[in-house]
Amino acid sequence: MAQVELAIVHSLPVAKEVAVSPASADDWEIISAHAQWLEDNLLFSLRVCAVGQRIDVWVKGKLRVAMVVGA
């Protein structure tokens, strides 16, 4: 059994911009084809992230793309 500690963190900064890179060549193709949609919707759907984190995003509810947070 694992023990987990939870705590509320107050006053976290709000991201106005997140720099991501594709996790694979296949992800790059999907990102290129849907770049505007991702720019318009990624920050709205992303609630918490950290540098180096892998993010899976469903593009238009049909395609999954994996990205890595760079900054």
pLDDT in tens, the chain (71 residues): 999 999 998 888 888 888 999 999 999 999 999 999 998 888 777 878 889 999 999 998 899 999 999 99
pLDDT of residue 5: 94
- List CB contacts of 49: < 8 A, sequence separation 6 or more: 15, 18, 55, 69
Please say whether the beta carbons of 42 and 34 come within 8 A: no
Helices 25-33 and 35-45 pack at an angle, to 10 degrees, of 100
Domains of the chain (ranges, CATH numbers)? 20-69 (3.10.330.10)
pLDDT of residue 15: 81
pTM score: 0.74
pLDDT of residue 67: 94
